[in-house]
Amino acid sequence: MIKAGEADKLHIAILGRKNVGKSLLINRIVSQELFVVNEIPGTIADPVSKAVELLPYGPVVIIDTAGIDDNEFDKKRLNRTVKAISSADFAILVLDARDQLDKNETDLITNLQKLKTPFLVAVNKIEFGINSNLLTELEALEVTHFELSCKENAGIENFKKKLVHLLPGEKKTPLIKDLVTEGDVVVLVVPDNLDELHGSVFKSQIKKIQEELGEDIVKVVVKEYELASSLIKLKNPPELVIADSHIIRQVAEEISESVKLTTYSIVMTRHQGNLSEFVKGIKKIEKLENGDKVLISEGCNNHLQEYEIGKIKIQEWLKLYSKKKLQIDYSNGCGFPDNLSDYNLIVHCDGCSISNKIIHTKVKQAKLLNIPIINYGVLTSFLNHTISRSILPFTEEVTVL
Ligand SMILES: Nc1nc2c(ncn2[C@@H]2O[C@H](COP(=O)(O)OP(=O)(O)O)[C@@H](O)[C@H]2O)c(=O)[nH]1
Ligand SMILES: [Mg+2]
CA 305 to chain centre: 24
Coil, strand or helix at 328? strand
Higher pLDDT, 351 or 15: 15
CA of 124, closest atom in ligand 1: 27
- As a whole number of angstroms, the distance between CA 201 and CA 207 comes to 10
- What pLDDT does 16 receive? 92
- What pLDDT does 133 receive? 98
Share of the chain above pLDDT 70, in %: 92
Residue 248 sits at φ, ψ, to 5 deg, of: -60, -35
Instruction: Please report, in angstroms and rounded to a whole number, the separation of the first and last CA atoms in the chain.
Output: 33
- What pLDDT does 42 receive? 62
- As a whole number of angstroms, the distance between CA 35 and CA 5 comes to 21
From residue 46, give the alpha-carbon distance in Å to each of 42, 55, 193: 12, 27, 47
Longest dimension (CA), the chain: 78
Least confident of 18-32, 41-55, 357-371: 41-55
Say yes or no to pLDDT of 25 above 80.
Answer: yes
For 251-294, write each residue's pLDDT tens digit: 999 999 999 999 999 999 999 889 999 999 999 999 999 999 99
Its pTM surpasses 0.75: yes
- Domain 10-166, architecture per CATH: 3-Layer(aba) Sandwich (3.40)
Instruction: Decide: 130 in ligand 1 pocket, CB within 6 A.
Output: no
For 147-173, write each residue's pLDDT tens digit: 999 999 999 999 999 999 999 887 678
Average pLDDT, stretch 7-35? Answer: 93
From residue 316, give the alpha-carbon distance in Å to each of 131, 263, 304, 310, 339: 58, 22, 17, 10, 24
Instruction: Decide: 98 in ligand 1 pocket, CB within 6 A.
Output: no
Strands (E), 97-245: 119-124, 145-147, 185-190, 218-223, 240-243
Q: Where are the alpha helices (DSSP H) in 156-297?
A: 156-166, 196-213, 227-233, 248-254, 264-272, 275-280, 282-286
CA of 27, closest atom in ligand 1: 15
Confidence at 351, pLDDT banded by 50, 70, 90: confident
Say yes or no to pLDDT of 334 above 90.
Answer: no
- Long-range pairs for 41-49: beta carbons < 8 A, 24 or more residues apart: 42/18, 42/66, 42/67, 44/18, 44/69, 44/70, 44/80, 46/80, 47/1, 47/13, 47/80, 47/83, 47/84, 49/1, 49/3, 49/6, 49/11
- Phi-psi label, residue 47: left if phi above 0, alpha if psi -120 to 50, beta otherwise: beta
Using the mean position of ligand 2's atoms as its centre, give its distance from the Cα of residue 132 in Å.
Answer: 26
Q: Other CB atoms closer than 10 Å to residue 258's CB: what's the count?
A: 6
- Domain 277-383, architecture per CATH: 3-Layer(aba) Sandwich (3.40)
Confidence at 134, pLDDT banded by 50, 70, 90: very high
- What pLDDT does 307 receive? 59
Average pLDDT, stretch 33-37? Answer: 90
Say yes or no to pLDDT of 190 above 90.
Answer: no
Asked whether the domain spanning 177-270 has the same topology as the one spanning 10-166, the reply is yes
Number of separate helices (H) and strands (E) present in the chain: 16, 14
Average pLDDT, stretch 8-19? Answer: 92
- What pLDDT does 306 receive? 57
Confidence at 39, pLDDT banded by 50, 70, 90: confident
Task: Write the burial class of residue 322 (CB in 10 Å: 0-12 exposed, 13-18 middle, 19+ buried).
Answer: middle
- What pLDDT does 171 receive? 67
Q: Is the CATH number of domain 177-270 1.10.3720.10?
A: no
- What pLDDT does 75 receive? 65
Q: Which of 93, 151, 159 to mutate to test the pocket of ligand 1 (most atoms within 8 A of CB)?
A: 151
Strand partners, 220: 187
- As a whole number of angstroms, the distance between CA 385 and CA 230 comes to 25
Least confident of 77-91, 159-173, 290-304, 380-394: 290-304
Coil, strand or helix at 347? strand
Say yes or no to pLDDT of 2 above 80.
Answer: no
- List the domain boundaries for the chain: 10-166, 177-270, 277-383
Instruction: Decide: 24 in ligand 1 pocket, CB within 6 A.
Output: yes
Asked whether the beta carbons of 89 and 10 are under 8 A apart, the reply is: yes
- As a whole number of angstroms, the distance between CA 314 and CA 330 comes to 11
Using the mean position of ligand 1's atoms as its centre, give its distance from the Cα of residue 82 in Å.
Answer: 24
